[in-house]
Amino acid sequence: MSRVIDGHDILQYNSTFAIVMKDSLEKLLGGKKVTIDERVLEGAQRLFSVGMDFIRESNGLKPVHERWDERRESYASYRLLVDMLTKVRKIDEKEVNRELTTLYLAIQLLTQDGRQIPVGREQYKTLKDLFGEMHREAGSYCSSVGQNSPYSVGTFDDGDDD
């Protein structure tokens, strides 16, 4: 097994905020008043924004994130979002980018108090399920023993000491 020595596992890195987002969205969708932690919301928004850079570049547009570490995360973040979306919703492959764009806009518009929930109810239900699946999937990998998810970026040590 290999382990990341320069970089990180995007799934593991985002799994903590994913469960908090899932729980917060679940409560907001149920009509409860909660405040989403600012750092958690920013983490969710960043994941989608970095993943959207892959779609932007595929469409010939300039990426939003230009730092080298964010650039190398773009495809892995995109793959993570696509894989989680297709696990929680049956969606035509041709519609994935359009749906991710819709979810990206919904998460970018979300405020800590969740005022937007009534307007974008279906998108927020999908986001709740996506974040729940992300957290569940992260439990399948244990970075402490060197197992990376398929959403890892960086330099890897494969354990060979030759």
Place 162 in a pLDDT band, splitting at 50, 70 and 90.
very low
Average pLDDT of span 80-98: 93
Query: Does residue 96 lie in a domain region?
Result: yes
d(CA 52, CA 75): 9
Query: Does residue 158 lie in a domain region?
Result: no
What digits encode the pLDDT tens for the residues 1-34? 454 444 578 888 888 899 999 999 999 999 999 9
Q: In the predicted model, what is the mean pLDDT of the chain?
A: 85
Query: Does residue 145 lie in a domain region?
Result: yes
Burial letters 106-139, b for 16+ CB under 10 A, else e: bbeebeeebebbeebeebbbbbbbbbbbbbebbe
If one counts the domains in the chain, the total is 1
d(CA 43, CA 28): 18
Query: Does residue 161 lie in a domain region?
Result: no
Query: Does residue 162 lie in a domain region?
Result: no
Query: Does residue 147 lie in a domain region?
Result: yes
What digits encode the pLDDT tens for the residues 31-67? 999 999 999 999 999 999 999 998 988 888 887 877 6
Place 158 in a pLDDT band, splitting at 50, 70 and 90.
low
The answer, yes or no, to whether residue 156 has pLDDT greater than 90, is: no
Query: Does residue 72 lie in a domain region?
Result: yes
Q: How many CB atoms lie within 10 A of CB 92?
A: 8
* Percentage of the chain modeled with pLDDT above 90: 54
Query: Does residue 160 lie in a domain region?
Result: no
Q: Which domain range does residue 72 map to? A: 3-153
